[in-house]
Structure 1
Amino acid sequence: MARKRKASSRFGTPVVMLAAGGFIAAVFAAGLWAGMQFGQEPPAPRQQEAVMRSPADKQKPPLPVSPGPADQAAMDRLVARVAEPEKAPAPEVKAVAQQAPRLRPDAEAPAQLAWVQNALPTDLPSGRPMIALVIDDVGIDRRRSDAIVALPGPLTLSYLTYAKDLDRQTAAARAGGHELMVHMPMQPKSADADPGPNVLRVRDKPVDLAKKIDWGLSRFGGYVGVNNHMGSRFTSDRAGMNAVMEALKLRGLFFLDSVTAPDTAGPAAAEALGVPVLKRDVFLDNEDSPEEVRYRLEQVEKIARKSGAAIAIGHPHDATITVLRDWIPDAKARGFAIVPITVLVRRRYPALWQSAGRS
């Protein structure tokens, strides 16, 4: 009997060790899987994806999943050129970009410089400090977006690419005397922040990145440039920003850097390709309170007086709308010129404006 218990003990030890090893391996594998899943930014919520196409959009052909065979070689060359921004676009790549059904007629020919063609007719103010008020994140909250459009202008309104009914919304904004921009979602550093669908990500393949940019730039027409929605991670990536600037160069647009990251690569990438670029000076409403907005506007005024111009970015918040409704006419009465953003692009790049036949 004693020998039988001893034999049983010898047999049980390897089994226990094998089971323990299997358990440890399973835990390690589960941890590795979890790390892969939760180390990435979560996808946009499904309810946000639902607003990507309005009833009118459903009549439009869907975005192609991949380039057609005839375009693949040119697309490959465009992808390879991302690392060489200082060279002019190859003729065949430019031809493919112009032939593809991606752009509205008013922004189709890069030689026409869409930012010049779509600029609001505005005389340069003489001797007055200029302030460009850019309101982005417009288009999702319809009530507050309409309240922004009703403000005295001219303002520059930057519409999120995934908002609904953008043709109608942007037409109303233009009729209200405001200039239009595209607010392009870009990857933030925080995985908890949700920039929305079709966000530009650092991990995107160049071809996928180009498709996302094309989709965002085809959502409405009549705009003059692009600024980043979030993007503290993406704007610091030079390769990603090179791809953005390639697209803006081909379309004759400018880039306004919202400066959500101190190490943004936007200005350097733009300048390397000859894309006009500006940077915002002040955020008006990181805190949604009238006191904060008024304080930030005081900073904007000081910058404008010192340098001749300032760019402020705000959002369709109740406090921002309420303060701007009174501040804009008061600032004009005190000698400030409220101008659309293209006036400041024109101020910085007068040769481009004149080369397009404008004086």
Structure 2
Amino acid sequence: MRACLLAFGLFISAVARAEALLSIIIDDVGNNYELAREVIALPGPVTVSILPRLAHSRRVAEEAYRRGHEVMLHQPMASLHHNTLGPGGLTLDHTRADLRAVLAANLASVPHAMGVNNHMGSLLTVEPTSMRWFMALLREHGDLYFVDSRTNPRSIALQTARADGVPTARRDVFLDNEREPRAIARRLGEAVRLARLKGSAIAIGHPYPETLQVLRQALPRLAGQGISLRPVSHIIAYQRSPETWHASSFPLPQVAKSSKQ
């Protein structure tokens, strides 16, 4: 693990220490309760993105919220590879009425969700009609935001959300496409570099043991590197108006420490 932290540190040691904002989303939560508990026990305000209608979706959402984490719906969407979507998936065959019903049921299964990001979706996020419908339906549920996971570089989700007035951002870095601790640490270092370069960045990881191991060690060190770990909603607010954004207007949530050993 010391080698992993060194790999992480090499990416950030040469950069000036003006505070930058970083959000880390952990996707694919809700099927395995023990792994979900490990995500919720991470040190700091990681954002927990929960798949809908799974065995532990509601329970995990309630617990994450109670512990001070921001909660998202991890919305399954059709992929170019036609991967199995699981419960609550959206496809090109869905009418607007279908989309409305599925989205409503999914949100009901993930209480306290403040936003949505796509699970898979390399097909649906390039389809203009489905994206327009989806963003309009998000607005029916209040001030939900949307994060484009960018599973397809041709995704139009971000620009469609902006055009429809949905608060939005996009993923900058996937942490764990390569499930090896040193590689994950390097990707986290890349997320930090981008946050410093742009003022903010969003990284997405998964509840893999390797990812959780790296984050448990690295997250407490971020503040010392001038990085403020933030919920996604803070990143979106900053990106919408970086000139007027002030940290005092967005107090950090107090994430309760877990008794889990």
With normalisation by structure 2, the TM-score equals: 0.83
Alignment of 1:206-285 (within 5 A): 206-251=96-141, 252-285=143-176
- 1:198 paired residue number: 88
Moved over 6 A (4+): none
| C-alpha deviation, 1:198, in angstroms | 2.6
Q: Which amino acid aligns with 2:112?
A: G
- In 2, Cα distance between equivalents of 1:184 and 1:127: 35
SS in 2 for 1:133: strand
Q: Is the 8 A contact 1:153 1:177 kept in 2?
A: no
The structure with the largest helix share of the pair is 1
- In 2, Cα distance between equivalents of 1:307 and 1:247: 30
- 1:170 paired residue number: 61
Q: What per-residue deviation string (whole Å, max 9, x for no partner) do you get for residues 168-188 of structure 1?
A: 211211222211000000001
Instruction: Name structure 1 gaps, 5 residues minimum.
Output: 1-125
Q: Which amino acid aligns with 1:235?
A: T
Alignment of 1:127-206 (within 5 A): 127-191=18-82, 193-206=83-96
SS in 1 for 2:125: helix
- In 1, Cα distance between equivalents of 2:131 and 2:87: 19
- 2:181 paired residue number: 290
Q: Does 1:347 align with 2:226?
A: no
- In 1, Cα distance between equivalents of 2:33 and 2:65: 16
- In 2, Cα distance between equivalents of 1:291 and 1:310: 20
| C-alpha deviation, 1:349, in angstroms | 3.0
- In 2, Cα distance between equivalents of 1:244 and 1:256: 13
- 1:310 paired residue number: 201
| C-alpha deviation, 1:312, in angstroms | 0.2
SS in 2 for 1:232: coil
- 1:326 paired residue number: 217
- In 1, Cα distance between equivalents of 2:238 and 2:160: 21
- In 2, Cα distance between equivalents of 1:349 and 1:331: 24
- 1:57 paired residue number: none
Q: What per-residue deviation string (whole Å, max 9, x for no partner) do you get for residues 281-320 of structure 1?
A: 0000012110220110111111011111110000000100
- In 2, Cα distance between equivalents of 1:221 and 1:205: 25
State which structure, 1 or 2, has the greater radius of gyration over its C-alpha atoms. 1
Q: What per-residue deviation string (whole Å, max 9, x for no partner) do you get for residues 191-216 of structure 1?
A: 3x222123100122222222111211
Q: Greater RCO between the two (CA within 8 Å, min separation 6)?
A: 2
| C-alpha deviation, 1:350, in angstroms | 4.7
| C-alpha deviation, 1:271, in angstroms | 1.5
Q: Which amino acid aligns with 1:199?
A: G
Question: Identity of aligned pairs, percent?
Answer: 34
Q: What is the RMSD of the two structures over their aligned residues, measured on CA atoms?
A: 2.0
Alignment of 1:15-94 (within 5 A): none
Q: Is the 8 A contact 2:26 2:49 kept in 1?
A: yes
